[in-house]
Structure 1
Amino acid sequence: MPPIPDDEPPALSVRGIGKSFPGVRALRGVDLDVHAGTVHALLGENGAGKSTLCNILSGALTDHEGSIELAGRPVRPHSPRDAHRLGIGMIHQELTLVPDLPVADNILLGAEPRTRFGTIDKRRMRARAAELLAAVGLDLDPRAPVRQCRIAEQQLIELAKALSVDVRVLIMDEPTSALADTEVRRLFGVIRTLTARGVAVIYISHRLEELEEIADTVTVLRDGAGVGTRAMADASRAELIGMMVGRPLGEMYPGEGAPDAVAGTRLRVERLTVTADPAAGRAGLHDVDLTVRAGEIVGLAGLMGAGRTEVVEALYGVYGAVRGSISLDDSRYRPSSPRAAIRRGLALVAEDRKTQSLVLDNTVRFNASLAALRRFRRYGRVHRRAERRAVDEQIAALRVRTPGGEAVVGTLSGGNQQKVVLAKCLLTRPSVLLLDEPTRGIDVGAKAEIHGICRRLAAQGTAILLVSSEMPELLALCDRIVVLCEGRVTAVLDSDEASQEAILTAAMARRTVLAGAASGGARAGEGR
C-alpha cells in the first residue's frame, strides 16, 4: 500500500459513535478512519458492535450519537438509499435479497434502466446484470429466481448488487462466510480491483488468515468500544485475539487432533443418490458412500455446488425418501422427514439459520427447545421448569450472549443465533450430529469453543459429519475428509494424508477430467 499523504482526509471518518438499544449499550464512543484505496478490517467477538457500527454507516440505523465525515465533509445517512446516494454501499452478513425476484431484478433493484417511454428496459437490465455477475465470477441466468441459488451464490449476488452503484466506501460484513476457497480467491480479486480504483473497503471477518492476506489496517472492538487500531502487517494473531477477548487465547485451531474413534459404526451410507432439482437450487448426488464411527469427526469438503449440503439434508430427511442404503448403529434407516430423523438420533445444524433453523420473532427458550419437546413432556403437557432448566444450561455451556431465555432470538447477533441453533441440536441428545457450516459468522473465541464442544461430543461417542468451507477447520478437527465434486466422491483422505492441496485437487477432479475430455486431452476415467 502506498503511503497516504498527511494532508489527504480519510475517505471515511467517524468520531464518538454511540448507540443504545433497550437494556443494551451497543456502541460507546467509537472512532474510525478509513482511507481511500485501502482495506480496513473490523474485528471483535459477536456482540462487540461491528454490525451496529456498519448499520449506522449504511443508513440502516439513524438514531445515534457522534459524527460521520466523507472525504472531510460531514454527512448523516438517513436511509440505505441515502447512503447509496452518498457513495456508501454495504454487503450484509444476513442476505437482503428478494427470493422470488429474478437475479437481475435483485441486482438492479431501484436502479433499473429505462426505455424512452419510461418503462423498465428488461434487455438492458439483464445485460448489465450479466456483466456484474461475470465481474464476481458467477455464471448464472439473470432471469433465474434468487430462490433457486445456493447461499454461496446469493452471497456473490449481493456483491454484484453492491457493485451496481458507484461506491466510494464499501462495507463487507462477513462476505466469505458461505464461500469455498475458490470463491474467496475470486472475491479477493474483486476487492483488489476496487481498491486500485480508490474505493475504501471496510471488511468484517472472523477469519484471521483472510485478514492477513487482504487487509491493510485492523481496528478491534470489544463490548461496544474501540480497543485499538494496528497496521495488519505488524499485528500478530495472538495480539489481535487478546485484544478481542480481553484475555490470552491459544491458536484458533489448537494442535490437538480429534479424539480416537470409539469402536462401532454409527452411520453407514452406501450408494446415496438424489436427483438434482434446479428449481429448488439442489445439486444431484451420485452413489455417495461414507461411514462415520462412534467418536469420529468426518469432514465433507468440496467447492460450491459439489453436493455437501445435499448429503446432510438427504440424511436428515429433508428430501423424503432417497435411493441408496443407510444404516444407523447397524439398523436400517430410511430418511422420511426431519421429525423421524430426530427420533432416530440425528440432529442438523443447517446452513442457513434464518430460514432453516430459527423462528426469529420468538424467544431463545422456544427456539432452543423446539426440536426436543418430547424430552420435557409430562402427562401430555410440556414441563416448563425442566425445559427452562435445560435451555439455561445450554445457554451457559455455549456462552450465548443474551439477557435470558425469554429474549427474542432475532435481537441477538448472528453468532449468538448460531449458538442457539447448536443448543437446539444438543438438547435432542443426538448420536449423529450433522453440522453444515457450524462456525459461519462465529467470532474467534466462540469458534474455538465450538471446536472444543465437537471434540468433547466425539469423546463421548457422538458421530459427527462436518461440512465446512474452511479447510483449516476440516484439517484441525477431522479424522477423515470425504471430498465431493459434482455430487460424486472423488477422494477419502485420512487425517495424516489430508492437506489443502490434496483437498482442492480432489474437489476439482471431475471438472478437470470433463474439461480435458471435452478438449480431447483426457480419458473419462482419469483424475477421479
Structure 2
Amino acid sequence: MTLELRGVRKDYGGVEVLHGVDLVGRPGEVLAVVGANGAGKSTLIKILSGAQSMSAGEMRIDGEAAEFRSPHDAHARGIRTVYQELSIVPGLSVTENLLMGNFPKRRGLIDWAAAHARARELLESIGFGAIDPRTLAGRLSVARQQMVEIAKALVSEPRVLVLDEPSAVLAGSDLESLFALVRRLRERGVLVIYVSHRLAEVMELATSIVVVKDGRVIATTEPARTSESELIGLMAGRRLEQIYPDRRAEPGEVRLSVHGLTRRGEFEDVSFALRAGEIVGLFGLVGSGRSELARCVFGAEPATSGQVKVAGGDVRFRAPSDAIAAGLALVTEDRKRTGLVGGMSVLDNIGLTTMYGMRRGPLIDAARRRERVGEMIDRLSIQPAHCASMRVVNLSGGNQQKAVLAKWLLAEPRVLILDEPTRGVDMSTRIAIYRMIDDLARDGLAVLLISSDLTEVLGATDRILVMNQGRVTGELRSDRTTEDEILAHAIGQAA
C-alpha cells in the first residue's frame, strides 16, 4: 500500500498544531518519523490511525482519496497502530487480548484449546514465543505487555503498521526480536511507520527518515545521507555537543543500604548501598527483577527476607507512604498506570504526594500549593508554561514525564529511585533530565537509575549494578567498563 499525506493540517480550538504536513510511504519501506516532544508526531499518528480527523489536507491510499472518521475506517483499509501507551486489558489473558472478537468456536462456544494454540502460533511466528498465552496480561512485565500490543496489531495482517516508540521498554533479546520482526514485515511488503526517539535504531532500521519540528516536516532524508548528530540538530534547532554531564566528586555518606533482600520468585539476596551525591545505575534484561526490587525497597511489595536501612537506621516499610516519610521517592516505569492520574489536572498530579503537607488547619492551602507547583513547572520547563489547569493527559509524553518527576521532587526526597525515566522522550528532553539528575546528585541526593538503555547507564551514572535472574551479578565502575562487559553480566556470561 502506498500512503500519502498532502498539506495535512490540524487545529484544536483554533490553535493549529500541524501546518501542512506532506508524507509518502510505500510498500516494503520503514518510514521513520522523528522529532522532539510536542513536534506534532502524536497528532500525526492519531490522524493515520483514524482516532482524529484532519482539519485540512488530503490523504491518499494507492492514489485514491481516503478519509478516516474512526479507527474502524483505518482498520478497514489495512492500517493498524501500536501506541506508546499500553491498551491491553490486564484482567484478561494474552490469548483473550490477541483474539478478542475473533475466537475460534466449536458448537457455538469458544474453543479455548484452539484459541490458546492460535495465540501461541502467532506469538512464535513473530519472535515472541517466550510469552505464555494463558498468562494474565496484567501479570506480564511492561516490556512483555508491549510485545503483546504489537502481536495484537498483527492478527489482522495489516498492510500499514504504525509503531509509536515500540522499543522504549525493550532490551536484549526482546529488542532483537522487534528488529527482526520489522525486517520481516518489510520483506513481506508491509509499510512500517516507525516513530522513535532512539536514533541509533532509526539509523539501523529505516529506509527513509522524516524530521518533524513545530508541526512541520523540515527534512526528509535517508540513513546513508545523514547522521545521528545531524538529526539531533534538526530536531532541536541547535547542535547538542554533550549529552551526559561531567563526572561528580566522591560521594558522601550512605543514604540507603539494602542487605540480603529477597522476594521469593522475583529476586534473591540482593545487597547494595547508595551514597549522597552518587548516581548508581541498575541494568538488567526483562525478567531480571530490577523493577520488582525497586518496588520492594519502596514498600510497594513486601520482602520475604532481608534488611533495608535509611541513613544507617533499620526501616520496615509496610506501604509506600512509609518510604515517602523516610525520604524516598520512586518514579515508576509506567507513567500512565502508576505515575499519573490522567483525568486530573497538572496541578493536582504534581501536588499529590505533598497534599497533606500543604494544609492550613484542616484544609489544603490552595494558594501555597499552586505557588509550589508553579515553581516546579518553571524549574523543569514543563510546556506549555501555563499548564497547571490542563488535564495531564493533554501534555506531550516528555512533559508528562517531567510532571511525574516534579511530583516527587516537590516532596524533597533524600533518595530518588528512577525506573526508566527517559522512556519515550526525545533527545532534548533526555538531556534536560540527565542534567536535572546530575544537579540533584550534586545537591546531595542519592539516585538509583534503572534503565534498559546501555548508553544511558554508562553515560549518566557513577557505578552500575547488573542483575540476572533476580541476582546482582556484577558491580562496575561506569568509567571503567563497556557495553559488552555489562551485557555479559546481564546474561550470566561474565568471566
Shift of 1:138: 3.4
Gaps of 5+ in 1: 1-9, 277-283, 513-526
Of 127, 130, 133, the residue aligned with 2:117 is: 127
CA distance in structure 1 between the aligned counterparts of 2:233 and 2:330, rounded to whole angstroms: 32
Q: 1:317 to 1:459 in 2, by over 3 A?
A: same
Q: Deviations over 1:396-418 (max 9, x none)?
A: 22121134201111111222111
SS in 2 for 1:370: coil
Partner of 2:392: 409
The number of equivalent residue pairs is 493
1:171–1:203 contact (8 Å) kept in structure 2 = yes
Q: Deviations over 1:331-374 (max 9, x none)?
A: 21222211111111100101111111211111101000110124
Q: Deviations over 1:58-116 (max 9, x none)?
A: 1111353221112222222232232122111111101111111111111122333344x
Q: 1:345 to 1:26 in 2, by over 3 A?
A: same
Of 64, 74, 94, the residue aligned with 1:73 is: 64
CA distance in structure 1 between the aligned counterparts of 2:87 and 2:241, rounded to whole angstroms: 35
Deviates more, 1:376-385 or 1:365-374: 376-385
CA distance in structure 1 between the aligned counterparts of 2:311 and 2:13, rounded to whole angstroms: 49
Residue identity opposite 1:171 in structure 2: V
Superposed counterparts of 1:44-443, under 5 Å: 44-62=35-53, 64-115=55-106, 117-134=107-124, 135-251=126-242, 253-254=243-244, 256-276=245-265, 284-320=266-302, 322-402=304-384, 403-443=386-426
Residue identity opposite 1:359 in structure 2: V
2:263–2:302 contact (8 Å) kept in structure 1 = no
SS in 1 for 2:429: helix
1:126–1:143 contact (8 Å) kept in structure 2 = yes
Residue identity opposite 1:44 in structure 2: G
Shift of 1:121: 3.4
Shift of 1:495: 1.5
Deviates more, 1:54-63 or 1:301-310: 54-63
Q: 1:23 to 1:405 in 2, by over 3 A?
A: farther
Q: Deviations over 1:394-448 (max 9, x none)?
A: 1122121134201111111222111100000110101100000000011110000
Q: Deviations over 1:258-302 (max 9, x none)?
A: 3123321111111011123xxxxxxx1100011111100011111
SS in 2 for 1:371: coil
Partner of 2:450: 467
Shift of 1:168: 1.1
SS in 2 for 1:305: coil
Of 486, 489, 498, the residue aligned with 2:472 is: 489
SS in 1 for 2:318: coil
SS in 2 for 1:388: helix
CA distance in structure 2 between the aligned counterparts of 1:226 and 1:498, rounded to whole angstroms: 40
Residue identity opposite 2:118 in structure 1: R
1:39 matches 2:30: yes
CA distance in structure 2 between the aligned counterparts of 1:179 and 1:201, rounded to whole angstroms: 18
Shift of 1:486: 1.0
Partner of 1:6: none
Q: 1:333 to 1:424 in 2, by over 3 A?
A: same
Residue identity opposite 1:83 in structure 2: A
Residue identity opposite 2:233 in structure 1: G
CA distance in structure 2 between the aligned counterparts of 1:492 and 1:475, rounded to whole angstroms: 12
Residue identity opposite 2:374 in structure 1: D
1:56–1:64 contact (8 Å) kept in structure 2 = no
TM-score norm. by structure 1 comes to: 0.90
Q: Deviations over 1:220-243 (max 9, x none)?
A: 111212111111221122221122
Residue identity opposite 2:394 in structure 1: T
1:14 matches 2:5: yes
CA distance in structure 2 between the aligned counterparts of 1:335 and 1:24, rounded to whole angstroms: 48
SS in 2 for 1:228: strand
SS in 1 for 2:176: helix
Of 466, 479, 488, the residue aligned with 1:505 is: 488
2:458–2:479 contact (8 Å) kept in structure 1 = no
CA distance in structure 1 between the aligned counterparts of 2:35 and 2:359, rounded to whole angstroms: 40
Residue identity opposite 1:473 in structure 2: E
CA distance in structure 1 between the aligned counterparts of 2:193 and 2:396, rounded to whole angstroms: 19
1:136–1:159 contact (8 Å) kept in structure 2 = no
1:258–1:297 contact (8 Å) kept in structure 2 = no
CA distance in structure 2 between the aligned counterparts of 1:481 and 1:137, rounded to whole angstroms: 29
Q: 1:71 to 1:113 in 2, by over 3 A?
A: farther
TM-score norm. by structure 2 comes to: 0.96
CA distance in structure 1 between the aligned counterparts of 2:43 and 2:404, rounded to whole angstroms: 22
Shift of 1:382: 2.0
Q: Deviations over 1:155-177 (max 9, x none)?
A: 00011111111211110000011
Shift of 1:127: 1.5
Q: 1:13 to 1:245 in 2, by over 3 A?
A: same
Shift of 1:20: 1.6
Q: 1:416 to 1:136 in 2, by over 3 A?
A: farther
1:138–1:156 contact (8 Å) kept in structure 2 = no
CA distance in structure 1 between the aligned counterparts of 2:293 and 2:133, rounded to whole angstroms: 28
CA distance in structure 1 between the aligned counterparts of 2:416 and 2:47, rounded to whole angstroms: 38
Q: 1:372 to 1:261 in 2, by over 3 A?
A: farther
SS in 1 for 2:202: helix
CA distance in structure 1 between the aligned counterparts of 2:14 and 2:277, rounded to whole angstroms: 42
SS in 2 for 1:339: helix
Q: 1:376 to 1:258 in 2, by over 3 A?
A: farther
Q: Deviations over 1:122-153 (max 9, x none)?
A: 33322121012112323222122111111100
